Amino acid sequence: MQLVLASSSPRRRDLLARLGCVPDRIAAPAIDESPHRGERPRAYALRLAIEKARAVARAPGEVVIAGDTTIALGNRILPPAETEGVQRHLLGLLSGRRHHALSAVCVIAPDGTERTRLSATIVAFRPLSTAEIDAYVACGEGLGKAGGYAIQGRAEAFVRFIHGSHSGVIGLPLTETRALLRAAGLPLA
């Protein structure tokens, strides 16, 4: 049985390695990640994980895994920080507040069965000064990331508390992922 990771994210590849999984193939899906009008954050994260998994061609005997991590402030889906200006704005919104990191996983088994799980983690940032936000933006670490930060890096110092899956905030909730891969027939310990 072969494992296909439907993601070019090095973080997801590293997180899979923590489960003892090395993808046999990596295929970056090309999908439109725009939220639908009125779409709620949980539904959005699950939809993207499913669409990413379905977008990758699957050969006989292959298991496909895809994930999506969405940062939500209330019912507002925060975009990835594509520019430094957007990143500054996102960090300003998150400063001193709680938000949800929603990490969805979809696994398609060799027989075509799709299984999904969603991990919802509460993350609270301490208040951030303009200088702290500027310094973080300057380091380049959160550019392109959901919500404009990478919890596995310097932004971990912003976290006042976290309730839920740390690996889910990074990009792949390991407990849920392990269960899905085992259900698809991968021999994990």
Is 68 in the active site?
Answer: yes
Question: HSE of 185 in the Cβ direction (CA atoms, 13 Å)?
Answer: 14
Q: Name the catalytic one among 14, 32, 68, 111.
A: 68
Whether 109 contacts 185, CB under 8 Å: yes
**Which residue type is seen at 181?**
L
Three state DSSP letters for the chain: CEEEECCCCHHHHHHHHHCCCCCCEECCCCCCCCCCCCCCHHHHHHHHHHHHHHCCCCCCCEEEEEEEEEEEECCEEECECCCHHHHHHHHHHHCCCEEEEEEEEEEECCCCCEEEEEEEEEEEECCCCHHHHHHHHHHCCCCCCECCCCCCCHHHHHEEEEECCHHHHHCCCHHHHHHHHHHCCCCCC
Residues labelled catalytic: 68
